[in-house]
Amino acid sequence: MTELKTQILHDDQIGLEQAARILSNGGLVSFPTETVYGLGADAHNGRAVASVYAAKGRPSFNPLIVHVANLETAKRFAQFDKTALDLADAFWPGPVSLVLPLVKNHGLSELVTAGLDTVAIRMPDHKTAQALLKTFDGPLAAPSANPSGRISPTSCEHVISDMNGMIDAVVDGGNCYVGVESTILKIDVDRVSLLRAGGLPIEAVEACLGYSIAKPQDPQTPQSPGQLQSHYAPNAAVRLNATKAEADEVLLAFGPNSQGAALNLSATGDMVEAAANLFAYMRDIDEIASTSKSIAISPIPMTGLGLAINDRLKRAAAPRD
């Protein structure tokens, strides 16, 4: 058993106050959101934000998402036009981040925005995230709490197993119930584009707006900085759209036809369940594959959360360099 160097805090008043103190002093605290566990730092504090990149070993300064407790706080940093207000009203708190123009004198660290004139902002729904943001009483920059390029954590155990000794504390608030990162929408003078598929299905966004929006494959859509091909990579090689496992493979299945599967993302073919299981099962299957086998993954339909799941899987299977 390796020595525990990162404090595990309860999500009660004592734990949350301790977490807020650490954050105010420039420390790093991981906390659960409904999407994945975030690696939080005071978004005003450049050193704290820099240490986020250091702890993650990120290869570049991709901009981070700023987490806030309420719309009032969000407006201190970002300009909300009518479309942005409509989306915030419909989906916050929830798994969608809005990329909006910065306001003057926002006071955020430049590292948070990677020097851009926009900021990605989100109000999470998870009760532990809400409680911490209220106790801290400020914005938290928080990418996922995993080393760069690795699978995002959806439980306190995942965070400890990946980041022990690299961060000050983690608030244990149980498992993440959405399990994939937030959907990212860029809003530019009432024009909306999808930068990253995620926990909020794009169909819901389009239903709210009443029109369809630009997707990442459209040439006019801006690229989200840091959408690395070989992201979320397990140690074992990954083969997608596999209908069955070969002798040297372990199968991560989806749906009822799953003979010989080591694990099944959802035996009933439920996309929400599959998304919630995705990162934990990617880790588990990687352990089962160990050093001698590779991973085969069943096809997942490209509807609803399937877009986000397939996006993650494609990165997991991308050639490594």
Residues 176-205 that bind ligand AMP (CB under 6 A): 181, 184, 195-196
List the one residue from 149, 216, 226, 304 that touches ligand AMP (CB under 6 A).
Answer: 226
**Contacts with 11 (C-beta within 8 Å, 6 or more apart), sequence order:** 127, 128, 131, 132, 171, 172, 173
Considering the rule CB under 6 A, would residue 148 count as an interface residue with ligand AMP?
no
Shortest CB 233 distance to ligand AMP, Å = 15
Alpha-carbon span 7 to 170, nearest angstrom = 6
Q: How far apart are CB 152 and Mg ion at their closest, in Å?
A: 5
Verify binding: residue 144, ligand AMP, rule CB under 6 A: yes
Nearer to Mg ion, 144 or 154 (CB): 144
Task: Kindly give the pairing relationship between strand 29-32 and strand 37-42.
Answer: antiparallel
Cβ at position 317, least distance to ligand AMP in Å: 19
Binding track over 294-313 against Mg ion, x by CB under 5 A: --------------------
**Count, residues near ligand AMP per rule CB under 6 A:** 20
Distances (CA, A) of 90 to 96, 177, 204: 10, 19, 10
- What part of residues 97-156 is at the interface with Mg ion (CB under 5 A)? 144
- Which uninterrupted H or E stretch holds 251? strand 249-253
Q: Does 221 bind ligand AMP (CB under 6 A)?
A: no
Decide if residue 227 touches ligand AMP (CB under 6 A): yes
59 near ligand AMP, rule: CB under 6 A: no
Partner whose footprint covers residue 119, from ligand AMP, Mg ion, none (CB < 5 to 8 Å by kind): ligand AMP
57 is a site residue for ligand AMP (CB under 6 A): no
Question: By CB under 5 A, is residue 193 in contact with Mg ion?
Answer: no
- For residues 71-105, one letter each, b for 16 or more C-beta atoms within 10 angstroms of the residue's C-beta and e for the rest, the string is eebbbebbebeebbebbbeebbbbbbbbbbbbeee
User: Binds 65, which of Mg ion, ligand AMP, none (CB < 5 to 8 A, cut-off by type)?
Assistant: ligand AMP
Backbone angles phi, psi at 49, to 5 degrees: -65, -40
How far is it, in rounded angstroms, from Cα 316 to Cα 245?
A: 17
Start-to-end CA span in the chain (Å): 32
User: Letter for the amino acid at 256?
Assistant: P
Are 159 and 37 spatial neighbours (Cβ–Cβ below 8 Å)?
yes
| 278 interacts with ligand AMP by CB under 6 A | no
Residue 317, both tokens: 């299977």
Calpha distance 231→314 (Å, rounded): 9
Is 121 one of the binding residues for ligand AMP (CB under 6 A)? no
Residues at the contact surface with Mg ion, assessed by CB under 5 A: 144
Residues at the contact surface with ligand AMP, assessed by CB under 6 A: 62-65, 99, 113, 116, 118-120, 143-144, 181, 184, 195-196, 224-227
